[in-house]
Amino acid sequence: MFNTLSDRLTATFKNIKGKGRLSESDINATIRDIRMALLDADVATTVVRHFTSRVRERALGAEVSKALNPGQQVVKIVNEELVQILGGQTRPLTLAKRPPTVIMLAGLQGSGKTTFAGKLARRLRDEGHFPVLVAADLQRPNAVTQLEVVAERAGVPCFAPERGNEGGAAQGAEGTTSYGDPVWVAQAGVGQARVRQYDVVIVDTAGRLAVDEALMKQAADIREAIQPDEVLFVIDAMIGQAAIETALAFQQGVDFTGVVLSKLDGDARGGAALSVASVTGRPIMYSSTGEGVKDIEVFHPDRMASRILDMGDVLTLIEQAERAFDQRQSAEMARKFMDEEDFTFEDFLEQMNAIKKMGNIKALMGMMPGMSGMRDQLNSLDEREFVRVEAMVQSMTKFERTHPKAINGSRRARIAGGSGTTVSEVNQLLERFTQAQKMMRQMRRGGGMPGMPGMGGMPGGGGAKRGKQQVKKKGKSGNPAKRAQQEQAALAKASDARERSFGNAFGAGAEEPTEDVKLPKGFEKFLGQKD
């Protein structure tokens, strides 16, 4: 969504990062480039004016002029001010003290309310809640049916006593010509939740193609009837400058408590959506990043600012990995590593399934710092390759998955035929897998990863060539007692190296960072605590 804005800002900062001193003209030129980048991204003019004035004021102050690296200090200022226009702090969902918690969704037609209702319900279900969806959109054709399908995919119940405008025909509950009363449906849904002990009610309301009085009156009547704990305004992140006008109209007519950015995986400029929090004073709470029922993220202003400035979003990546990777599987992988058991295709298949649970591969890789320079490679990534690899592994017998060396020519031909691939592709997979096994063995011995700069066992960070000088090995003593002592010391040294490698690979046994190590905000909770 924000690729163009990110590229423009990154290019701007490259001009100042290497300078030891910044003049007023340097800062003015940087501010001008930032202003043009934000305006081109459809950020509201009032927000751009306030943002650039704050950056200019701070950049011309003492915090930059006295900094050891003025360029990086300006980037830090831009990051902090960007966090402020995105809302400042993460705002969690407000849950009722006495269930059920009632959440009302509002927005224009086509903004993604119905899809988001299913995503939110699935997320709350995974967090241990018991949500129910209420179909109060009775005017859009087949809106009730769509919500029922979404609820089924999310694995949650749907309360739909009225069929609404089904198939374009106006039919109500008793065969009348009305579509039904959405206010009554919303009230009845909340009542059913209390009776059936659901602790969260998500009410999907009707939208229009444009803001009008009838829409606002109906939404206001529903809010008055059910007294929701949260009113979430779902806005399409790709609608441009109309986002501000629409948000202000809904704030005046319904008075929402939070904003949801939908279709954040699109390729539009999307800057106007970033202005919503600053203009309305209401926080952005969730972002919808795809079509899948799990493609929903809690909106963290600091993390989104880091993504826009190409600093990555490692914390979100870690959180998604924690949800996707099963603790039992991780413990089993750690045990195999310590017991020096070879990595098998069964393990490979489990890891692939866990990665698929994390979501879109391109989106995950895009969370890594500095990935803007590899955007072309990311865009050219064919995710169907993962499907082909999985098909090849699935075509192997159980024996072949645990004994890849036994896969001869005839077996390779059978695997290729069963997976719809070629023998050459099977050969490439086996070759890459053999390299992965070698890497795991080297890590176990404390040698680091082959070819990786700065890792153990790689002179000069892996870039220098090994000299031909051989290290003279110390001979074994002829004294039996002394030889036994030497062998015991060697075993202890090998065990220590293996444990260090295990700590590096799986995060176990690692020492806590010293105070001078700068970590991302909030990263401390992911570090193990000493007993």
Annotated binding site for GTP: 107-114, 204-208, 262-265
* Cβ-contact 372, 310 below 8 angstroms: yes
Query: Can you tell me whether residue 288 is helix, strand or coil?
Result: strand
In degrees rounded to 5, what are phi and psi of residue 132? -135, 140
Q: Which residues contact 310 (CB under 8 A, 6 or more apart)?
A: 6, 9, 10, 369, 370, 371, 372
Q: Beta strands 230-236 and 101-106: pairing type?
A: parallel
Q: How would DSSP label each residue in 407-448?
A: --HHHHHHHHHHHT--HHHHHHHHHHHHHHHHHHHHHHTT--
* Cβ-contact 198, 98 below 8 angstroms: no
* Cβ-contact 113, 234 below 8 angstroms: yes
| DSSP code at position 293 | T
Residue 100: what residue type?
P
Query: Can you tell me whether residue 357 is helix, strand or coil?
Result: helix
Between CA 244 and CA 224 the distance in angstroms is 25
H-run or E-run covering 102: strand 101-106
Tally Cβ neighbours within 10 Å of residue 432.
11
Question: Contacts from 48-55 at CB under 8 Å and sequence distance 24+?
Answer: 50/85, 50/278, 51/81, 51/82, 51/85, 54/81, 54/84, 55/31, 55/81
* Cβ-contact 203, 228 below 8 angstroms: yes
Between CA 368 and CA 317 the distance in angstroms is 8
Could you list the residues known to form a binding site, using ranges.
107-114, 204-208, 262-265
Q: Where are the beta strands (DSSP E) in 244-288?
A: 258-262, 284-288
Which pair of structure tokens corresponds to residue 125?
């279900």
Return the ∠ at Cα 48 (arms to 42 and 51), rounded to 5°.
140
